[in-house]
Amino acid sequence: MNIATNLSTTQSISAPQTQTGAQVNLAVPKAQVTALPAKMELQALSVFYNTFQAIAEITLTIPANQITAIIGPSGCGKSTLLRALNRMTDLTPNAHVEGAVTLDRENIYAPGVDVVDIRRRIGMVFQRPNPFPMSIYENVAYGPRLYGIRQRKVLDEIVESSLQRVVLWDEVKDKLGQSGMALSGGQQQRLCIARALAVEPDVILMDEPASALDPIATLKIEELMQILKNTYTIVIVTHNMQQAARVSAYTAFMMINQNRAGTLVEFGQTSQIFTNPRNKQTEAYVTGRFG
Amino acid sequence: MQKFTNHPPRKKSWLARLSQKLQHGDRLWQTLIISMSLLVVGVILAIGGLLWRESAGSRLQFGWGFLSPLGESSWNPVSNSFKAWSFIYGTLITSWVAIAIAVPLSLGIAIFLAELCPAWLRTPLGLMVELLAAIPSVVYGLWGIFVFLPAVVVPTGTLLEETLGAIPGLQVLLAGPVSLNGSSRLAAGMILAIMILPTIAAVSRDVLLAIPPSQREASLALGATRWETIWRVLLPYGFSGILGAVILGLGRALGETMAVTMVIGNSIEGSYSLLRPGYTLSSVIANEFAEAVSPLHTQALVEIALILFVMTLVLNGVARALVWNVSRRNPQEVRA
Amino acid sequence: MEITVDTPAILPARPHYITTHKGYGRRKTTNGVMLSLTGLATLLALAPLFWIIGYVLYKGGQSINLALFTQLPRPVGMAGGGVLHAIEGTLLLTLLSGLIALPPGLLAAFYAAYHPNTPLGVALRFGTDVLAGVPSIVIGIFGYALLVKPAGHYSALAGAVALAILMMPTIIRTTEEMIRLVPGNLREGSLALGAPEWKTALRVTLPAALNGIVTGFLLGMARAAGETAPLLFTALGNDRFEIGRMLRSGQSLPVALWKLIEQPVDSLPLTLYKYTQQPSAERINQSWAVAFVLLAIVLLANIAARLWVQARSAKLRG
């Protein structure tokens, strides 16, 4: 299912209103018809905390093997949206979700779906690196062990390949037994990515992965993302517009509407969003007039 | 323009002079708080010192043999020969039983309160667990004698004797008929377990609550279940703190007197069995001190108090070191 | 400076191991079972609480009567009588030990809060923890060696001192914590106005921390009221203790008071213990009644302390 087909079904859903009352255009330009396959789709996704609506009916497509960035001013619900994609919102009491999120065309919120499997297939990297207080080896091996893999040889292979994928192997191969917390911030974050890769996900969600890191570490992470996207689909939330412009192919711009719910203002190719945004608010945000 | 003249200082009354001195009475204040602190520290030294002094005769006479399990003699006030081994054994075995029962239960409670229980239920349940600690020891003893022993200890003891007692290795521990009314080391161990539960559970719960949520999120985002997160990440993370809690509980179990002395049977019977009556360090003091038959008897009992004092001192030191270790080597430090 | 990052153009090949759904069912089951077990553990742990309280209320309630509170005990075997001596003894001991423990405890806590890293401060905090862990019977022996043996007789004073030592760590810890919680700028504001340290402590810091200090003190006293072991060799017990009678004996107040505390004295827990050792049905019934009273005091004190804290903090939050 490609993006163009997807959008034709979404136009029947009422598009969010901007403050001036104008209709928001959700369409991707027609040049996109030779479309990329969609890995995940959000269909009128809403997130509620008790009766308060935090996310208002967002419809979006995440193309496979691309980096999709979600940008917007603080508090607009980007992180909430990201967490809804791997059902981490289930962990917040009083949170409930309406609408659908599909992964490979199967709704992950359908009743009877195995949440544990969803979370394996959709991995997450957090803003602050959070390695476990175990050795580097054990951090990466944590996931595979959960899935019953016990043989030393197999685990060694998985750990090595995961660490190589995040370009950390050479730096740590002699000190795999050292605590994961003894690494620098940038290394810890790459360790966390390696940990997520070890369970063979299809999608990687990243919540401001470099915001706690220095510029050089940030650069390394961004380079890493470019390589990873060939194998995985990546969705990144960032408050740093320049970062979104640097790394992503597609960008979604979110804002809070009158009811304090996060809504999608515009979605499209990154180059288009940043150089020729269709929506006035998008233009105001990317040119830095507010944020 | 007003003219200022220098008036000579007026003579002040004694009251005015006194209050002026007291107003800058910081020196007095400092003296007070320092001396009171010295007093408190002094009390501990005094306890150790006094116990040492009052047991001198017994220590000289019996030396290290007082503690040893070997040798012929046992505790015999009549012949003025004293050995503490059976009491040391009693204290250790009852505390061990108490820990074996209390630790899994306390961990369960701590996990439930910290991870699973809805927020509104947490405080009332926590309060109820703490109330268990507030019940006086004698009340535990009274309930123990007339309710717990017949209802729980006797059946449990009989069951243990019939099932596990058949296993060859365990026969030493589970030999002999359960005493008629149930007073036994097992009874003491079980009641001690109830008494130390609140300590271990409350501290462990606090340890778990202090673990940053990011650890849980990291684990769950990898596809782990809640239990796997608790077992593989949280418990190892909080291990030193929980160990400290267990040691604190152990310390309490070692020193507990009244409830133990009321249900343990207070007998210097030779067996090592859990099902038979026994004696502990604290209960022998409680039972015999007021009617000690000779000065040596008294001194031996004071020496037992000294043993208890040293045991709890060491345990407390270890627990303290563990807690300090946890707070100093804070794993959340991220070197950027 | 050009920053180059050495990254491979293609990812190294990697084996696939985790693509099946094998084992999810078992993991889910384990999860459910273990989590339920923790709930079960909580219920199991709370069961004795309700069992004890319920049974004591039931059995004790049966033997409660007015005589219990107003009469001295009758000889063993005779019906009737009460535990007035124990009630008065408990009151005397608790009050006296509170009086003895409070001033040093408060002052030492101030030192611990203000100078935590001096050698004395470290020794004090370590020592408080040590003292908290010393078994109560050892403290009783200490009290005996300190006050009973030299004096030649048992006394309420010795018992009160032993109880005070027991209470001390709780008072110091709670007070120190509460003082720490008082915002630093409160103290600094007072000092900046020229008030001396002691005035600041007593007029500013202490009232601000009073809430918690009072709670800690009350809980400490409640614990002391329930202790038996330290009294076994200090206060010993006294069947004939009756404050009213002693005060009316015609001596001047200070002398009478001194005589009062120089007597051996009973307490509720001590009486309870002694009665359980006597094979008389009457005594056993009275034990239950005493347990009822003791439990009521201790539980009410604990609950009241929590409610007080909640009420005060609610009032502060306005």
For chain C, percent of residues with pLDDT exceeding 90? 23
**Which chain A residue has the Cα nearest residue B233?**
A132
C17, C26, C29, C30: best to mutate for the A interface, most A CBs within 10 A: C17
Contacts of B220 in chain A (CB under 8 A): 88, 91, 119
> A104: distance to nearest CA of chain B, Å?
18
**B125-161 residue pLDDT tens:** 888 888 888 899 999 999 999 999 999 988 888 888 8
Residue B61's alpha-carbon distances to A38, B65, B102, B323, in angstroms, are 89, 9, 39, 39
What is the Cα–Cα distance from B66 to B61, expressed in whole angstroms? 9
Helix (H, G, I), strand (E, B) or coil at A2: strand
Question: What local confidence, expressed as pLDDT, does residue A94 receive?
Answer: 85
Contacts of C27 in chain B (CB under 8 A): 225, 228
Q: Which of A11-25, C35-49, C74-88 has the highest mean pLDDT?
A: C35-49
Is the separation of the CB atoms in A208 and A38 below 8 Å?
no
pLDDT band at C122 (very low <50, low <70, confident <90, very high): confident
**Which chain C residue has the Cα nearest residue B305?**
C138
- The encoded tokens of residue A192 equal 């966390």
Question: What local confidence, expressed as pLDDT, does residue C6 receive?
Answer: 46
pLDDT band at B290 (very low <50, low <70, confident <90, very high): confident
Question: What local confidence, expressed as pLDDT, does residue B17 receive?
Answer: 61
pLDDT band at C234 (very low <50, low <70, confident <90, very high): confident
Which phi and psi angles does A124 have, rounded to 5°? Answer: -140, 140
B54, B132, B139: best to mutate for the C interface, most C CBs within 10 A: B139
Question: What local confidence, expressed as pLDDT, does residue B30 receive?
Answer: 83
Q: At residue B22, what is the residue type?
A: L
Verify whether the Cβ–Cβ distance B221 to A116 is below 8 Å. no
> C16: distance to nearest CA of chain A, Å?
8
Place of tokens 């020496």: B303
Helix (H, G, I), strand (E, B) or coil at A23: strand
pLDDT band at C207 (very low <50, low <70, confident <90, very high): confident
pLDDT band at B67 (very low <50, low <70, confident <90, very high): confident
Residue C1's alpha-carbon distances to A216, C4, C8, in angstroms, are 12, 9, 22
Contacts of B123 in chain C (CB under 8 A): none
Q: Measured at the alpha carbon of residue C179, what is the angle toward residues C175 and C184, in degrees to the nearest 5?
A: 175
For chain C, percent of residues with pLDDT exceeding 70? 88
Question: What local confidence, expressed as pLDDT, does residue A198 receive?
Answer: 93
Least confident interval from A25-34, C164-173, C265-274: A25-34
Q: At residue A47, what is the residue type?
A: V
Entry field: residues in chain A: 291
Question: What local confidence, expressed as pLDDT, does residue B71 receive?
Answer: 66
> A217: distance to nearest CA of chain C, Å?
10
Mean pLDDT over A127-144 rounds to: 93
Question: What local confidence, expressed as pLDDT, does residue A13 receive?
Answer: 35
Q: Partners of A206 in the beta sheet?
A: A125, A236
Sign (positive/negative) of CA torsion B209, B213, B214, B217? Answer: positive
What is the Cα–Cα distance from C233 to B257, expressed in whole angstroms? 14
Choose between A142 and C248: higher pLDDT. Answer: A142
User: Does pLDDT of C62 surpass 70?
Assistant: yes
CA C6 to chain centre: 64
CB hemisphere CA count around A251 (13 angstroms):
28
Q: Which C residues 200-229 touch A at CB under 8 Å?
A: none
Helix (H, G, I), strand (E, B) or coil at C81: strand
Residues 6+ apart with CB under 8 A from B123: none
Q: Measured at the alpha carbon of residue A241, what is the angle toward residues A239 and A243, in degrees to the nearest 5?
A: 95
* Subunits in contact with chain A (3 or more CB pairs closer than 8 Å): B, C
Question: What local confidence, expressed as pLDDT, does residue B23 receive?
Answer: 57
Place of tokens 């040049």: A31
Total domains in the fold of chain A? 1
Nearest to B279 by CA among B290, B269, B292: B269
Question: What local confidence, expressed as pLDDT, does residue C206 receive?
Answer: 81
The neighbour count for residue B37, using CB atoms within 10 Å, is 27
Is the separation of the CB atoms in C18 and A144 below 8 Å?
yes
Is the separation of the CB atoms in B245 and B204 below 8 Å?
yes
Choose between C309 and B98: higher pLDDT. Answer: B98
> B102: distance to nearest CA of chain A, Å?
27
Which H/E stretch holds residue C284? helix C281-317
Mean pLDDT over A133-153 rounds to: 91
DSSP code per residue over A99-144: EEEEETTEETTSTT--HHHHHHHEEEE-SS----SSBHHHHHHHHH
For chain B, percent of residues with pLDDT exceeding 70? 87
In a domain? residue C69: no
**Mean of all residue pLDDT scores within chain C:** 83
- The encoded tokens of residue B29 equal 């204040």
Contacts of A230 in chain C (CB under 8 A): 10-11
What is the Cα–Cα distance from B242 to A221, expressed in whole angstroms? 37
Confidence (pTM): 0.82
**Which chain A residue has the Cα nearest residue B115?**
A91
Contacts of A161 in chain C (CB under 8 A): 12-15
User: Does pLDDT of C130 surpass 70?
Assistant: yes
Alpha carbon dihedral B297, B302, B306, B312, in 10-degree steps, equals 110
User: Does pLDDT of C86 surpass 90?
Assistant: no
Contacts of C19 in chain A (CB under 8 A): 200
What is the Cα–Cα distance from A163 to A92, expressed in whole angstroms? 31
**Which chain B residue has the Cα nearest residue C52?**
B143
Provide the residue range defining the domain that includes A246: 3-130+204-286
In a domain? residue A184: no
Contact with chain B for residue C232, Cβ under 8 A: yes
Question: What local confidence, expressed as pLDDT, does residue C317 receive?
Answer: 56
Question: What local confidence, expressed as pLDDT, does residue A10 receive?
Answer: 35
List b or e across C139-160, with b for residues whose CB sees 16 or more CB atoms inside 10 angstroms: bbbbbbbbbbeeeeebbbbbbb
Contact with chain B for residue C127, Cβ under 8 A: yes
> C121: distance to nearest CA of chain B, Å?
8
Provide the residue range defining the domain that includes C130: 87-269
> B200: distance to nearest CA of chain C, Å?
12
User: Does pLDDT of A6 surpass 60?
Assistant: no
Verify whether the Cβ–Cβ distance C295 to B33 is below 8 Å. no
Least confident interval from A273-277, B7-11, C68-72, C233-237: B7-11
Question: What local confidence, expressed as pLDDT, does residue A27 receive?
Answer: 43
Helix (H, G, I), strand (E, B) or coil at C264: coil
DSSP B3: P
pLDDT band at A4 (very low <50, low <70, confident <90, very high): very low
DSSP code per residue over A34-62: SPPBEEEEEEEEEEEETTEEEEEEEEEEE
Question: What local confidence, expressed as pLDDT, does residue B136 receive?
Answer: 93
Residues 6+ apart with CB under 8 A from B335: A182, A183, A184, A185
A181, A211, A216, A221: best to mutate for the B interface, most B CBs within 10 A: A181
Contacts of A181 in chain B (CB under 8 A): 331, 333-334
In a domain? residue A153: no
From the list C39, C130, C168, the residue facing B112 with the nearest CB is C39
What is the Cα–Cα distance from A88 to A123, expressed in whole angstroms? 11
- Choices 3.30.70.20, 1.10.3720.10, 3.30.70.580, 3.40.50.300: CATH for B75-328: 1.10.3720.10
Contact with chain A for residue C23, Cβ under 8 A: yes
Nearest to C258 by CA among C179, C109, C156: C156
What is the Cα–Cα distance from A212 to A126, expressed in whole angstroms? 10
Judged by phi (left if over 0) then psi (alpha if -120 to 50, else beta), residue C246 lies in alpha
Question: What local confidence, expressed as pLDDT, does residue C75 receive?
Answer: 78
CB hemisphere CA count around C249 (13 angstroms):
14
Question: What local confidence, expressed as pLDDT, does residue C101 receive?
Answer: 93
**C178-206 residue pLDDT tens:** 888 888 888 888 888 877 777 777 887 88
**C290-306 residue pLDDT tens:** 999 999 888 888 888 87
From the list C40, C233, C287, the residue facing B290 with the nearest CB is C233
From the list C121, C138, C287, the residue facing B142 with the nearest CB is C287
| Rg, C-alpha atoms of chain C | 28
Question: What local confidence, expressed as pLDDT, does residue B3 receive?
Answer: 66
**B210-244 residue pLDDT tens:** 999 999 999 999 989 999 999 999 999 999 889 98
- The encoded tokens of residue A252 equal 């979604």
What is the Cα–Cα distance from A106 to B122, expressed in whole angstroms? 38
Choose between C110 and C72: higher pLDDT. Answer: C110
**A154-194 residue pLDDT tens:** 999 999 999 998 989 999 989 999 998 889 989 999 999 99
In a domain? residue C12: no
Least confident interval from B1-15, B140-154, C238-252: B1-15
pLDDT band at B273 (very low <50, low <70, confident <90, very high): confident
Verify whether the Cβ–Cβ distance C15 to A157 is below 8 Å. yes
**Mean of all residue pLDDT scores within chain B:** 84
Question: What local confidence, expressed as pLDDT, does residue A122 receive?
Answer: 93
Contacts of A124 in chain B (CB under 8 A): 217, 221
User: Does pLDDT of B317 surpass 50?
Assistant: yes
Nearest to C83 by CA among C290, C235, C298, C284: C290
pLDDT band at C316 (very low <50, low <70, confident <90, very high): low
**A13-55 residue pLDDT tens:** 334 444 444 333 444 433 333 357 888 989 999 999 988 999 9
User: Does pLDDT of C256 surpass 70?
Assistant: yes
**Which chain B residue has the Cα nearest residue C121?**
B37
Verify whether the Cβ–Cβ distance B214 to A134 is below 8 Å. no
From the list C27, C141, C226, the residue facing B305 with the nearest CB is C141
Angle (deg, nearest 10), helices B295-328 and B26-54:
130
Total domains in the fold of chain C? 1
Contact with chain C for residue A117, Cβ under 8 A: yes
Question: What local confidence, expressed as pLDDT, does residue B331 receive?
Answer: 42
DSSP B76: B
Contacts of C5 in chain A (CB under 8 A): 167, 219-220, 223
Question: What local confidence, expressed as pLDDT, does residue B336 receive?
Answer: 26
Q: At residue C17, what is the residue type?
A: Y
> A218: distance to nearest CA of chain B, Å?
12
Verify whether the Cβ–Cβ distance B137 to C226 is below 8 Å. yes
Q: Which of A140-149, B39-48, B105-114, B267-276 has the highest mean pLDDT?
A: B105-114
User: Does pLDDT of A244 surpass 50?
Assistant: yes
Verify whether the Cβ–Cβ distance A130 to B215 is below 8 Å. yes
Question: What local confidence, expressed as pLDDT, does residue B19 receive?
Answer: 58
Helix (H, G, I), strand (E, B) or coil at B286: helix
Mean pLDDT over C110-135 rounds to: 88
User: Does pLDDT of C273 surpass 70?
Assistant: yes
| CATH code assigned at C209 | 1.10.3720.10
> C31: distance to nearest CA of chain A, Å?
12
Question: What local confidence, expressed as pLDDT, does residue C302 receive?
Answer: 85
From the list B119, B214, B336, the residue facing A130 with the nearest CB is B214
Alpha carbon dihedral B246, B250, B253, B255, in 10-degree steps, equals -140
Contact with chain C for residue A163, Cβ under 8 A: no
| CATH code assigned at A39 | 3.40.50.300
Is the separation of the CB atoms in A110 and A87 below 8 Å?
no
From the list A161, A216, A227, the residue facing C8 with the nearest CB is A227
